[in-house]
Amino acid sequence: MMNYTHPLRALARACAFAASTLAVASLGTEGALADETCQSPYMAKIVGQEDFVYVWTLGQEGVGDEQDKLVTVDVSPKSPTYGKVVSTLSVGGRNEAHHSGFTDDRQFLWAASLDTSKMFIFDVHTDPAKPKLIKTITDFVANSGGVVGPHSTYALPGRMIITGLSNNKDHGGRTGLVEYTNDGEYIATHWTPTDSDLEGALKSGKYADGYGYDVRVLPRRNLMLTSSFTGWSNYMMDFGKMLNDPEAMKRFGNTVVQWNLHSKQPKKVFDVPGAPLEIRCAWGENHNYCFTSTALTSKIWLIYEDDQGEWQAKEVADVGDPSKVPLPVDISISSDDRMLWVNTFMDGKTRAFDITDPFKPKPVYEQKIGAQVNMVSSSWDGKRLYYTSSLLANWDKKGADNEQFLKGYAWDGKQLTQKFAIDFTREKLGRAHQMVFNAYSLYSANKPDNAEGVLAKK
């Protein structure tokens, strides 16, 4: 591999000192605190063998048709096409394809884009091996009142809730949550609290930045959480230009927001410095906590309900050596709440933490997946993990280190063993970003004799 110093490492180093200083201050104040396992609890789950992995893929200039596309990979071990691409569906242009999510009935997959703010709705139940594009939403910004960059598309009963990353006024990080029906009709926008308009929320620390990124819920606690990243002007910017722009370097989120799930009313803003990205919530009926990791400060944070029924945020572990800025990106929690997988983009590694005690995560395993790695998706039974490579089109590594792949591994509780790998560049597919699973068993009318997926009740 070529020797390459990624600009994001320089950015992270520049931001890390200030953010870690805030983290110490926040902890002092507190002292006086797939993946299928990340899917909405309102959805049916694949608890046996998944049949397909859908990879939401960024079009890449000079590669294949150069368009964003949904790539379907056969992952059923008994299939003659195991580990192979069985269909691709291009959507037109390069929109900065990023995340996707199913509706609560799992019949449709919503895939979002961070640049054009288009959302693509795929029929994945008529023929799971060959999804069909049935609707493209092009008026998201207008309907939402100015939200830009739809990110997480997350299932609620009969509707989807979508996090934004930016807005159309200044293309900064100020943004909100947007609700749609499963059929793609706009319902409402809920703006994230800021210092100038807390929307009725309690500001618990230094920040109320109004930024957004991911969303997850715990219905039994009437809890919804959102995290924060950065706006369009940063995530679409040339790195050299951003590094030389002091104002741009300040524009990264430092908050997690607690919301009332039913009313969508923001309740509390937590300081979680250093760009907290994915949120993963525990599944146990008495496990009232969620995790997030911070990209710029390389920390694992626990968002938990205390003995008084109040929600708190606490830094609980380092990811690798924070001084080397490994850059944590995606995380995946096991369905038994015993393991947290954390990917680090810069060193291309995946790390497993024992979270039996959520307040004291312990690193127990690590393995290099590639020159760069972004997303990790764990099967519900914990026996299989899948990895993809792309972070953002303008943020991926350069030259030989710009590896683009989907890789599947088996996990036996002690080590990962690679089962297949697809080179997305060689196959002329583009940049492999985010993935979700599907199974024939979810749609019994289309289930062939060799399908192994098992359907769990909601």
Nearest of 286, 190, 185, 224 to residue 42 by alpha carbon: 224
Q: Give the pLDDT score at 96.
A: 98
pLDDT confidence of residue 325: 86
- pLDDT of 31 reads 29
| Residue 449: predicted pLDDT | 53
Strand partners, 281: 290
The answer to whether the beta carbons of residues 433 and 98 sit under 8 Å apart is yes
Residues 161, 225: Cα–Cα separation, whole Å: 12
- Three-state DSSP at 339 gives strand
Task: Sort strands 215-218 and 223-226 into parallel, antiparallel or unpaired.
Answer: antiparallel
Q: How much is the CA Rg of the chain, to the nearest whole Å?
A: 20
Share of the chain above pLDDT 70, in %: 88
- Residue 77 tokens read as 């071990």
**What does the pLDDT average to over 251-270?**
97
How is residue 63 written in tokens? 């590669």
Would you say residue 231 has pLDDT above 90? yes
Which region among 39-43, 138-142, 249-253 has the lowest average model confidence (pLDDT)?
249-253
Q: Which stretches within 164-269 are classed as H helix?
A: 232-235, 239-243, 246-250
User: Where are the chain's structural domains?
Assistant: 7-446
Picking from 264, 97, 108, 120, the residue whose alpha carbon sits closest to that of residue 182 is 108
pLDDT at 173: 96
CA 304/CA 154 separation, integer angstroms: 21
DSSP structure class, residue 447: -
H/E segment holding residue 225: strand 223-226
pLDDT in tens, 174-229: 999 999 999 999 999 999 999 999 999 999 999 999 999 999 999 999 999 999 99
CA 209/CA 227 separation, integer angstroms: 11
- pLDDT of 112 > 90? The answer is yes
284, amino acid identity: G
Q: How far apart are CA 154 and CA 99, in angstroms?
A: 10
Rounded distance, CA 334 to CA 330, Å? 14
- Whole-number average pLDDT of the chain: 90
pLDDT at residue 4 above 90?
A: no
Q: Phi and psi (nearest 5°) for 64? A: 55, -135
What's the sign of the alpha-carbon dihedral 111, 115, 117, 120?
negative
Element (H, E) at 351: strand 349-354
**pLDDT one-digit tens code per residue, 66-75:** 999 999 999 9
Cα–Cα distance for residue pair 408/387, rounded to 1 Å: 7
Q: How far apart are CA 396 and CA 299, in angstroms?
A: 22
Confidence of residue 244 (pLDDT cuts 50, 70, 90): confident
CA distance 380 to 402: 30
DSSP 129-148: TS-EEEEEE--HHHHHTSEE
Q: What is the pTM of this model?
A: 0.91
Dihedral angle over CA of 354, 357, 360, 361, nearest 10: 20
pLDDT (0 to 100) of residue 455: 38
pLDDT mean over 94-115 = 97
CA–CA separation, 80 and 74 (whole Å): 9
How many Cα atoms occupy the beta-carbon half-sphere of 356 within 13 Å?
Answer: 4
Evaluate whether 376 touches 385 at the Cβ level (below 8 Å): yes
Sorting pLDDT into bands at 50, 70 and 90, what band is 447? low
The backbone region for 428, taken as left when phi is positive above 0, alpha when psi lies in -120 to 50, beta otherwise, is: left
List helix spans (H) across 85-167.
140-144
Give pLDDT tens digits for 312-365.
Answer: 999 999 999 999 989 999 999 999 999 999 999 999 999 999 999 999 999 999
pLDDT band at 47 (very low <50, low <70, confident <90, very high): confident
pLDDT of residue 245: 80
DSSP secondary structure string, 400-433? GG---EEEEEEE-SS-EEEEEEEETTTTT--EEE
Q: Domain 7-446, what fold?
A: Methylamine Dehydrogenase; Chain H (2.130.10)
Please give the pLDDT value at position 239.
Answer: 62
* Lowest model confidence (mean pLDDT) among 199-208, 238-247, 445-454: 445-454
Is the pLDDT reported for residue 38 higher than 60? yes
At 324, which helix (H) or strand (E)? none
Q: How far apart are the first and last CA of the chain?
A: 46
- Using the predicted structure, report yes or no on whether residue 76 has a pLDDT greater than 80: yes
Task: Tell me the mean pLDDT in the region 35-57.
Answer: 91
